[in-house]
Chain A
Amino acid sequence: MATNSIRVDASTSFVRGFAYFFITLLTILCLIPFLLMLGTSFTSESAVREFGFNIWPKDFDILAYKLVFENPDMVIGSYIVTILMTVFGTIIGLFLVSMAGYALQRPDFAFRNQISFYIYFTTLFSGGLVPFYLLIVRILRLKNNYLAVFLPSLMSPWLIILMKNFTKSIPFAITESAKIDGASDFRIFLNIILPMSKPALATVGLFLALTYWNEWYNSMLFLEANMDYRPLQLFLYNVVNKVEYIKNSAASSNIPPMDVPLETMKMATAIVATGPIVLVYPFIQKYFIKGITIGAVKG
C-alpha cells in the first residue's frame, strides 16, 4: 500500500522495520511445529529417546516411513476413502448449496424468507449431541457406515447464507429475460447462474473440500476403530492415540517390541496424512483469501 512518492521519515522506517521483524517472527512460530514433525519423522527412534524431538534430524533415518509403507493397504485404503468422500461430498454439496442459495435470493420466490429462517434457526437451537447420535445410530441405523460421516457434512447454514449473498449480486433481470425466452428455472440455474458464480463456487467448494478432508469428529463418533479402511484423519487419530497399530506393523517386520519406533512412526504417519494438503495448499489458498474478503464485505 505504502507508495514510494511519500517521503520515508524516521517513524515510518521504524514501524516498517518492526513490521518486518514481527511478521518474520510470527511466520517462524507458525512454521516451527510443522518442521518439528517433519524433522522427527526422519530421525532414528534412538536419537529421539536420547535427545528428544528436533527440527533438524540428529540421526537421519527413514525406518518410520519404511514401516508406514510396509503394509500400505491401510494407508492407501484410508486415502481412497477420504479422497472419494472429499470429491463426491464437494460436488454434491456444492450443487445443493448453490441451488438453494440461488433460489433463496430470488425475489419471485414466495417462501424465501420462511425457508431462510428455517435454515438459520438450526444454528440458534439444536437438539444437542445425544439426540443426534441416537438419530444416526438407532433411527437411521448408520453406525459403522460411511454415510454417517458423508451426509452430515454436505452443507451448513453458513455456506448456504454465503452462497445466497454471492448470487444476490447477479442481476435478477438476467433470470427474468431467460424466463421470457422460455428457459425453466433449473436450466437458468444450470446454464446461466452456475457459470456466473465461479468465484463463489470455488470458495464454497474449497470450504466443503477442507471439511471433508479434515473430517474426524463424525468418523470418531460413528465408525469403529477396527474398521478396515477408516477416513484418513480417524486413521491418524488412532495411530497417534492407540499404539496397537504401530506395534502390529513393527511385529510384522520382526522388530522387537522394545525397539518399536513409536514416536517417529506417529510423525511419519502424520506427514503422510497431511502431506497432500500442505503441497496443494499454496495453490488454492488465494481462492480462500478471495472468498474470505468477498464474504467480509458484508457479514
Chain B
Amino acid sequence: MQTQVEAQVQTSAPLLHVKGLRQWFELRKFVFARAGYVKAVDGVSFDLPRGEALALVGESGSGKTTLARTVLGLYKPTDGDVVFEGMHLKDLNFRQMRQYRSDLGYIQQDPYGALPPFLSVRSILAEPMRINGIRNKAEQDRRIKEVLEEVRLIPHTDFVHKFPHMLSGGQQQRIVIARAMVLQPKLVAADEPVSMLDASVRVEILRLLRKIQEMHNLAVIYITHDLSTVRYFSERIFIMYAAKTVEKAETESLLEHHFHPYTQALLAAIPDPDPENAKKFRDIPPGEPPSLVNPPPGCRFHPRCPECIKGLCDVEEPPEFMPIEGHSVECWLYKEGGP
C-alpha cells in the first residue's frame, strides 16, 4: 500500500544518487610497487528514482558490472558519492551497511554458478533472512512461500526441498530472483539475468522481473550487452564505453536518435531476424575497446570514431551535452553552436 506521504517522498528525491563515481583498481608489481590503475569506472553520475528500470549497456570490460557492484557496496569507491535515500554510502558504519545491503538485491549472471549446489532451495532463501535477523522459522516459511509464488514456482512445496541441480536453467534463475527479493529490497541490480538462458525462456524471465518491479515499485539496474531486449524492459538506457557513460537517455529517445557514434555503431551491429541481412555487410568501426590502464586522451572512442575531429576529440575529454531535453551525450559533435 502506498500512502500519500510515500508518494511525495518519491517525487522529491531520487532513491539513488550517484555523482562523479570512480572505481579504480590498483595494479601492483612485485607485491609492493604500484604499477598503475585499472580505471574500471571513471566519473559516472546519475539519479535513479523509485520504480524505474535503468539499463546499462556496453561491451565486456566497459565497466557495467563494476558500476553496479560499487553501488551495491561490494567495493569501496575510489572517488565520488553514492547516496541512497539521503544516506552517504561512505559514512555508513558496519551495522548501517548491513541494513543498506538488505535494501538491495543482486541477481547474478550465471544461475548455475550463483546457487550453492549443496544447499536446498529453502536454505538458499532462508540465508539472507537469517543473516538479517529474521530467525523465526514460521516467518521465514511465510516469506519463502510468498517469494516462490511471486516468481511463479507453484506450488512452492514442490521446490523448497529441491537442490539446484534438480532444476532447469529457467527455474534456477527464478530461485536467484527469489533470493534477491526475499528481503523486500528497494533496488535490485540484475547482471545479465538472461544471457545464459535459451531464447524461449528469456522473455519469460524478463517479463517476470518486470512484473515484480511494478508490483513492488522497485528500482532496477539492468546490466546487459543485448540492446534488443532493453527496448522491452527498461525506461532509460545508459551506453557505457571504456568506463564512461557516453550516452544517457530514455529508451525510446535513444533508439530514435542515438547521437554518439559508438551508440550508432552498436545499433548498426545488432541484427534483427531478416533474410535481407545475408546480402549486406555491416559497417563496423575498426579496432577494439582501449585498455583501461592507459585509456587514450580526449574522447576514449576517438581512435575508432569515423567522425573524429583532429585537435579536439584526441585532446580534450568531451563534457556532457544535451541535444534534446533529457538526452545527454558525451561527444563534441553536439556542442552548442557546432564543434
A and B form one complex: no
Chain B residues close to A by CB (< 8 Å) = none
